[in-house]
């Protein structure tokens, strides 16, 4: 396994840094409750950048969620191909499906990485979400929760040098081994797993990893019948803005693709 990692590091060496526009939100006048969009240019080194795919399962208990993930997979593969070509690490994180991947070389490679001690987490508040997802957020009638997922969506390509994990400690160790500075996050759902998984934005941010959400490669679990009673896409945008205010900047995959060419 050590030889695999040496090959990965050698492939990544020499990749030119690229500058990408990332979007955040600032309360210009503290206490006003008025948040303004702020875009800055961020230099990222592909050899020190990773992309993690959160819970892009083959099937979700909510039909609407399953259909939207199917659409996302069509946009994700071109991004992953371009990222790999420039030496970025790709991590697949379909939670609760590690049994399916127990014999996959990408899973075995992750398990072979020496554990790195995580730092003391930063104490960061978790403000209330702007949408009501207390009933599960499903927008298709009659769907009830059950464990529908078995693996990652089969349309998503897994490269030979990618990694597979659903544990934050394992992912953090992989990032430390590669000297990763930026973690690009894609997948579902913004108001749930994207924020709350041990390998995702809240925990990685608390461990000092600079996360950037790929905001066009994500979705929310939100039913327009619930507050704030807006269309599903608008509900997703509200959660993206919440993340930009309190947790991490975002960017568009098209901007990343353009700069990786």
Q: Which domains does the chain have, with CATH numbers?
A: 47-118+136-260 (3.40.50.850)
**The pLDDT of residue 29:** 94
Question: For the segment 185-241, what is each residue's pLDDT rounded down to a tens digit?
Answer: 999 999 999 999 999 999 999 999 999 999 999 999 999 999 999 999 999 999 999
Cβ-contact 245, 161 below 8 angstroms: no
Q: Are strands 163-164 and 49-54 parallel, antiparallel or unpaired?
A: unpaired
**The pLDDT of residue 148:** 98
In whole angstroms, what is the distance from residue 113 CA to residue 8 CA?
Answer: 13
Whole-prediction pTM value? 0.93
Cβ-contact 48, 88 below 8 angstroms: no
**The pLDDT of residue 261:** 85
In whole angstroms, what is the distance from residue 19 CA to residue 173 CA?
Answer: 26
Question: For the segment 127-166, what is each residue's pLDDT rounded down to a tens digit?
Answer: 999 999 999 999 999 999 999 999 999 999 999 999 999 9
In whole angstroms, what is the distance from residue 163 CA to residue 147 CA?
Answer: 24
Q: How many CB atoms lie within 10 A of CB 143?
A: 17
**The pLDDT of residue 34:** 92
Q: Which among 207, 151, 156, 155 is positioned nearest to 181, based on CA atoms?
A: 207
Q: How many CB atoms lie within 10 A of CB 144?
A: 8
How far is residue 178 from each of residues 34, 47, 162, 186, 199, measured CA to CA in Å? 39, 8, 13, 20, 16
- Mean pLDDT within 63-88: 97
Strand pairing partners for 40?
22
Cβ-contact 212, 21 below 8 angstroms: no
pLDDT band at 98 (very low <50, low <70, confident <90, very high): very high
- Mean pLDDT within 75-80: 97
- Mean pLDDT within 70-84: 96
Q: How many CB atoms lie within 10 A of CB 121?
A: 12
Cβ-contact 242, 127 below 8 angstroms: yes
In whole angstroms, what is the distance from residue 221 CA to residue 13 CA?
Answer: 39
pLDDT band at 16 (very low <50, low <70, confident <90, very high): confident
* Lateral strand order in the sheet of 250-251: 35-44, 18-27, 250-251, 210-219, 182-188, 49-54, 89-93, 163-164
Largest CA distance in the chain: 55
**The pLDDT of residue 240:** 98
How far is residue 37 from each of residues 16, 109, 191, 242, measured CA to CA in Å? 29, 40, 20, 12
In whole angstroms, what is the distance from residue 249 CA to residue 253 CA?
Answer: 13
Q: How many CB atoms lie within 10 A of CB 55?
A: 23
Element (DSSP H or E) covering residue 179: none
């Amino acid at each position: 396994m050590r030889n695999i990692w040496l090959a990965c590091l050698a492939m990544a060496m020499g990749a030119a840094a690229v500058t990408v526009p990332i979007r955040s939100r600032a309360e210009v006048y503290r206490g006003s409750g008025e948040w303004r969009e702020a875009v800055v240019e961020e230099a990222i080194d592909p050899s020190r950048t990773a992309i993690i795919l959160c819970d892009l399962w083959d099937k979700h208990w909510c039909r609407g969620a399953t259909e939207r993930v199917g659409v996302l997979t069509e946009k994700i593969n071109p991004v992953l191909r371009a990222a790999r070509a420039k030496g970025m690490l790709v991590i697949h994180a379909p939670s609760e499906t590690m049994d399916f991947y127990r014999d996959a070389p990408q899973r075995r490679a992750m398990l072979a990485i020496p554990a790195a001690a995580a730092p003391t987490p930063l104490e960061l508040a978790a403000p209330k979400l702007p949408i009501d997802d207390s009933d599960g957020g499903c927008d298709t009638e009659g769907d009830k929760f059950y464990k529908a997922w078995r693996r990652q969506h089969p349309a998503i390509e897994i490269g030979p040098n990618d990694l597979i994990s659903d544990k934050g400690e394992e992912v953090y160790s992989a990032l430390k081994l590669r000297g990763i500075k930026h973690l690009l996050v894609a997948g579902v759902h913004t108001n749930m797993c994207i924020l709350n998984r041990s390998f995702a934005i809240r925990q990685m941010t608390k461990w000092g990893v600079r996360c950037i959400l790929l905001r066009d490669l994500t979705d929310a679990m939100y039913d327009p019948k619930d507050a704030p009673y807006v269309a599903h896409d608008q509900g997703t945008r509200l959660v993206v803005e919440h993340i930009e205010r309190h947790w991490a900047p975002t960017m568009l995959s098209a901007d990343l693709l353009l700069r990786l060419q």
